[in-house]
Structure 1
Amino acid sequence: MSGSLETTEVQRLAAFAAGAEFDDISPEALEQLKIRVLDTLGVAIGALDAEPIVAIRQLVEELGGAPSSTLIGGGRTSPQLAAFTNSALSRYLDFMDSYLAKGETNHPSDNLGAVLAAAESVDASGAELLTALAVAYQVHTRLSDVAPVRAKGFDHTTQGAFAAAASAAKALGLPAEQIAHATAIAGTANAALRVTRTGNLSHWKGLAYPHVAKEGVFAALLARRGITGPEAVFEGNKGFKESIAGPFDIDWSAEDLESVRRTIIKKHNAEIHSQSALDTALDIRAQDGFNVRAVEKVRLTTFDVAHSIIGGGEEGDKRLIRTKEEADHSLLWMLAVVLLDGELTPAQYEPGRIVADDVQSLLTRVEIIPSQEFSDRFPEHMPADLEIVLADGTVFRSSQDSYRGFHDDPLDWAAAREKFDALVTPFAGPALRDEIAELVHDLEHRSVAELTAALARVPVTRR
């Protein structure tokens, strides 16, 4: 990448990606990686008939593109447009996996669309896809550990641009020099603003990472053609460290492919920091004598990140809820609907349910309080203490530190399959569901084309 004897940071990152091998993935990490693939595909299929997704598919059909990569639900297009469409599917429901760093939260499964499209375009094996995806998880999580950007006004997709490009380039089978160029191009060009997720939320909340996935694939395709990127993207004059992140160090030569084991999977169809709080709501709802129609006050004590992002803190008031995007980022609305319905699934995000009088009224009685003690325990724990007072003065309380899918209670294959089936059943029958799940669980012995062929047979409309 340069005539200099000293390598730059993006070159060292690229050397890590280029040198990653399937056999470097431990059996435990491999199983969790497959669980993430199944989970991500289930969430994607569950969004096939969402209004923004329908509009995106229509646009992609109009734009055309060399039919190199498959769209979930059928059709083929260019790798970058397939990456955008499939990533939009996996992101729209906001039901994907997450990674919690002290100053940053991201969703490494957002990279599957880029890796899947790039891998299929070069007829890659399932083992090659899994290796590239493991690289994406490692790059994305480690940059979030040492270089959080949320407090500085940038979105978590900013670090994701490096991960998407490096993993897409790995999936294409590019050498280290070209992986470095791809990563530098995408990382330089995609420093995104946090306004994406503050205030009144738009469709872009769910499309910001699909855009990065698309640009990561395109950067990799450019690098394959010999296009170069800024070699000092991280440490250079006006580079990522100086302009955005501040100083940090990662020894890429010491990295492994195990970060997937540090990610968590959502139990509820809701923003990640709400998960344990929603479990407390379910617990109280099941307690003897509780009557949701008699609720006078709901008071949740939680950690500062939950309060800041979804509880009405620094990222905007969360009481004006009109759309799905606003609802799944309002802890007030989510607590109210779980107390009323006993669940939070895609069904609760139907437009009529979002604005229904009962949930809109109840959310006005919800108060979110940040606790320094709880904040000090995050992200190793996700503490939530819920107190509900009824009109007659009766008090109900529940506390939770984690939930099913968190670090201390990770999903196994059977639980992941239950979530997959719940999301996919409206679109696909048991035979196709079994086929997709079996392909994923045996992916290291199958081709990417076998998996995408099955995904193409999923109808885009409900049965």
Structure 2
Amino acid sequence: MTMRFAEWITTLPNDNLPHEVIARATDCILDIIGCSLVGFNAPGTTSARAAAELNFRGGDAPVYFSDRSMGATGAAFANSAAASMLDLDDGHRLAMGHPGAAVVPVALAIASEIGASNAELLAAIVIGYEISVRLGAGEIRKSHHTGNWTTFGAVATAARLRGLNKEQIAHALAIAAYHGPRLRSLTESAEMGSHVKESIPWSVVTGMIATDLARAGFTGSRDALDLPDRFDSKVALDGLGTEFHINGVYFKRFSTCRWTHTSVDGLMQLMQERQVSANEIQAIEVMTFREAVSLNNRASPPSLESAQYSLPFSLGVAATLGHDHLSPMTVDVLHHKAAVELARKVKVIHSTEMDSYLPLRTPARVRVCARGEWVEKLVIDAWGDSGSSTARADLRAKFQSLASKTLNPPAIEAIIAAVGEVHLRGVRPLNQALTNPEVLNEAWR
């Protein structure tokens, strides 16, 4: 597989990508930037940024929304932490994880360092998503640790921009197979609410360094991706060169695990349709798929990260405070009395019927008892699912909503305009918009 992927990575032309693929890559850039903005001050992000400054000083790749720059690896690591920390970043059903928070920061950082053209940048992003999703989909034992396969997307993105040849790329992928994250299932840990989360920022570092190692002559075991306990090659290679998996990306409006979103949507729809208030709810039952049941699902989670993996608490916040408090969810809602009380009324039930929709859909059937009467709602697709054809206007509205919490309207529009012109002007105008003094908070300097 390393050689098959390397061949494709080196031969995909920059200037022959379909219009819809270029448009989707641009959408992904805007969405990741919005996630990075609201995730910038999260405790895990500030810790990652401090570590990056210690280890990757010097360089011209910007740390967005700050006045700092680092080497490309450091900037990509810091920006990836910001993009992924609040669990608001894009994802893909086939891979069951989040490619964008790794691929986009790598592409923007290296493009900034080498002065890549607009076509080179966008092709590298498309390539990074493709390799990430394919190896995520082909993972034999689904770990639900995105970093286990985004390290290969980081390699693909970095190798394409840095001009590695086919042999070097094969070795880079092989090096990453051993040096990158290889973690057990996220849901096996009782403390899934830590800053480690899905190891996406660290996958960026290992992928970029694996690329640098291969470029310098370091070798890997090129059959690493073919070992039978790691990836299913038939799944990973199926249709390579005939389709673009970036077209199947989904986007999120709630900063909680995607597995909770259909449940939140179902509850909100029922409350609106039946004119039910939170204090009238006596009980909630959620029939959903096995993976959602396996989340920590604490009624009173101890940390923001733990809250992101709690279906009952997500429902409690949405019902009592409004779903806008999930966009993004902040530490202010932790231990909120009304939210916790409602979360304690939620029963999460495994449904084999819901299992049958996976992996392309993650549905939930929500039943609510209010005023002594049970009502229910089945939600199959959440907002932003690839099947729901999320419009560019929807993504722009999401960005504006997130950015309005921090930035003034001219700064917001400047960023949107710069992203919209990436396919024409490349990364330089975008960097200027994202490091303009107007977007810097004094506390961030």
TM-score (norm 1): 0.88
The letter of the residue matching 1:281 is L
Alignment of 1:79-158 (within 5 A): 79-101=72-94, 104-110=95-101, 111-150=103-142, 153=143, 155-158=145-148
Q: Could you say which residue in structure 1 is the equivalent of 2:40?
A: 48
User: 8 Å contact 2:253–2:327 — kept in the other structure?
Assistant: no
User: 8 Å contact 1:301–1:385 — kept in the other structure?
Assistant: yes
Q: Could you say which residue in structure 1 is the equivalent of 2:22?
A: 30
User: 8 Å contact 2:255–2:329 — kept in the other structure?
Assistant: no
Tell me: CA distance 1:16–1:194, structure 2 relative to 1, closer, same or farther (3 Å).
same
Deviation of the 1:252 alpha carbon: 7.6
1:178 is matched with which residue: 158, 168, 190? 168
Q: CA–CA distance in 1 between the matches of 2:93 and 2:136?
A: 9
Say if 2:172 is the partner of 1:163. no
Cα deviation code 1:391-434 (max 9, x no counterpart): x4122322211133112322222111111111112332222222
Q: Could you say which residue in structure 2 is the equivalent of 1:75?
A: 68
1:200 is matched with which residue: 191, 204, 208? 191
Say if 2:2 is the partner of 1:16. no
Say if 2:260 is the partner of 1:274. yes
User: 8 Å contact 1:303–1:383 — kept in the other structure?
Assistant: yes
Alignment RMSD, CA only?
2.3
Deviation of the 1:99 alpha carbon: 0.8
Deviation of the 1:227 alpha carbon: 2.1
Tell me: CA distance 1:462–1:219, structure 2 relative to 1, closer, same or farther (3 Å).
same
Gaps of 5+ in 1: 1-8, 236-240, 311-315
2:312 is matched with which residue: 305, 316, 332? 332
How many residues were matched structurally? 439
Q: CA–CA distance in 2 between the matches of 1:193 and 1:185?
A: 16
Tell me: CA distance 1:147–1:255, structure 2 relative to 1, closer, same or farther (3 Å).
farther
The letter of the residue matching 1:255 is G
Tell me: CA distance 1:222–1:247, structure 2 relative to 1, closer, same or farther (3 Å).
closer
Tell me: CA distance 1:56–1:305, structure 2 relative to 1, closer, same or farther (3 Å).
closer
Deviation of the 1:366 alpha carbon: 0.4
Q: CA–CA distance in 2 between the matches of 1:320 and 1:279?
A: 21
Deviation of the 1:26 alpha carbon: 1.4
1:436 is matched with which residue: 402, 411, 415? 415
Q: Could you say which residue in structure 2 is the equivalent of 1:258?
A: 244
User: 8 Å contact 2:88–2:255 — kept in the other structure?
Assistant: yes
Say if 2:285 is the partner of 1:285. no
Deviation of the 1:386 alpha carbon: 1.0
Tell me: CA distance 1:421–1:414, structure 2 relative to 1, closer, same or farther (3 Å).
same
Further displaced range: 62-71 or 413-422: 62-71
Further displaced range: 331-340 or 447-456: 447-456
Q: Could you say which residue in structure 2 is the equivalent of 1:307?
A: 293
> Which SS does the other structure have where 1:396 is aligned?
strand
1:397 is matched with which residue: 376, 387, 390? 376
User: 8 Å contact 2:171–2:219 — kept in the other structure?
Assistant: yes
Tell me: CA distance 1:98–1:250, structure 2 relative to 1, closer, same or farther (3 Å).
closer
Q: Could you say which residue in structure 1 is the equivalent of 2:322?
A: 342
Gaps of 5+ in 2: none
Q: Could you say which residue in structure 2 is the equivalent of 1:351?
A: 331
Tell me: CA distance 1:81–1:203, structure 2 relative to 1, closer, same or farther (3 Å).
farther
Q: Could you say which residue in structure 1 is the equivalent of 2:366?
A: 386
Deviation of the 1:251 alpha carbon: 4.0
Q: Could you say which residue in structure 2 is the equivalent of 1:66?
A: 58
> Which SS does the other structure have where 2:96 is aligned?
strand
Q: CA–CA distance in 2 between the matches of 1:346 and 1:295?
A: 20
> Which SS does the other structure have where 2:323 is aligned?
coil
**Identical aligned pairs, as a percentage?**
22
> Which SS does the other structure have where 1:408 is aligned?
helix
User: 8 Å contact 2:193–2:309 — kept in the other structure?
Assistant: no
Q: CA–CA distance in 1 between the matches of 2:332 and 2:417?
A: 37
Further displaced range: 324-333 or 173-182: 173-182
TM-score (norm 2): 0.91
Q: CA–CA distance in 1 between the matches of 2:76 and 2:414?
A: 23
Deviation of the 1:196 alpha carbon: 4.5
Tell me: CA distance 1:22–1:172, structure 2 relative to 1, closer, same or farther (3 Å).
same
Cα deviation code 1:94-132 (max 9, x no counterpart): 11111112xx51111022112221222211122211111
Q: Could you say which residue in structure 1 is the equivalent of 2:396?
A: 417
Q: Could you say which residue in structure 1 is the equivalent of 2:355?
A: 375
The letter of the residue matching 1:119 is A
The letter of the residue matching 1:91 is S
> Which SS does the other structure have where 2:39 is aligned?
coil
Cα deviation code 1:184-228 (max 9, x no counterpart): 111221242235553223433447110111121122222222222
Deviation of the 1:249 alpha carbon: 5.6
Cα deviation code 1:124-163 (max 9, x no counterpart): 122211111101111111122232432xx57332122111
Q: CA–CA distance in 2 between the matches of 1:223 and 1:451?
A: 30
The letter of the residue matching 1:334 is S
Q: Could you say which residue in structure 2 is the equivalent of 1:209?
A: 200
Q: Could you say which residue in structure 2 is the equivalent of 1:39?
A: 31
User: 8 Å contact 2:307–2:314 — kept in the other structure?
Assistant: yes
> Which SS does the other structure have where 1:389 is aligned?
strand
User: 8 Å contact 1:147–1:248 — kept in the other structure?
Assistant: no
Q: CA–CA distance in 1 between the matches of 2:77 and 2:211?
A: 14
> Which SS does the other structure have where 1:437 is aligned?
helix
User: 8 Å contact 1:276–1:383 — kept in the other structure?
Assistant: yes
User: 8 Å contact 2:403–2:412 — kept in the other structure?
Assistant: yes
Deviation of the 1:348 alpha carbon: 6.5
Q: Could you say which residue in structure 2 is the equivalent of 1:313?
A: none
Deviation of the 1:59 alpha carbon: 3.4
Deviation of the 1:263 alpha carbon: 1.4
Tell me: CA distance 1:374–1:423, structure 2 relative to 1, closer, same or farther (3 Å).
same
Deviation of the 1:72 alpha carbon: 0.5
Q: Could you say which residue in structure 2 is the equivalent of 1:451?
A: 430
Tell me: CA distance 1:357–1:454, structure 2 relative to 1, closer, same or farther (3 Å).
same
Deviation of the 1:346 alpha carbon: 5.3
